[in-house]
Amino acid sequence: MGGMSWQHSSSAAGPASAQRQQQQQSAATAPSAPSGGAGGAGKAWPAASMQTLRDLGATDAQAKALLDAAGGNVEVAASLLFQQ
């Protein structure tokens, strides 16, 4: 019965909770993407995002790779830049 209660409460958490968990998992795996080349090769990121990373010292190639790895999230990309 305890297991059923858990399943019910999981459903009650709603899709927003599941979406948040999925985004967190996606963000957690993002740093490994550059070595795998995970499909972001043709993606054009906003010029403002690229410029922000260039202002932080990244080259154009680094900025694109960081945004690819971070799924376009500039804050995560900047964090990855500073971890290098």
The whole-number average pLDDT for the span 5-32 is: 43
pLDDT digits (tens, 9 = 90+) for 24-34: 444 444 444 34
What local confidence, expressed as pLDDT, does residue 44 receive? 92
Q: Measuring CA to CA, which residue among 23, 27, 35, 43 is closest to residue 84?
A: 35
- Rounded distance between C-alpha atoms, residue 52 and residue 15, angstroms: 33
Both structure tokens of 3: 């297991």
pLDDT of residue 1: 53
Angstrom distance (rounded) from CA 60 to CA 30: 19
Provide the residue ranges of all domains of the chain, joining segments of one domain with +.
Answer: 45-84
pLDDT at 59: 97
User: How much is the pTM?
Assistant: 0.52
Please write the tens of the pLDDT for every residue from 39-80: 445 689 999 999 999 999 999 999 999 999 999 999 999 999
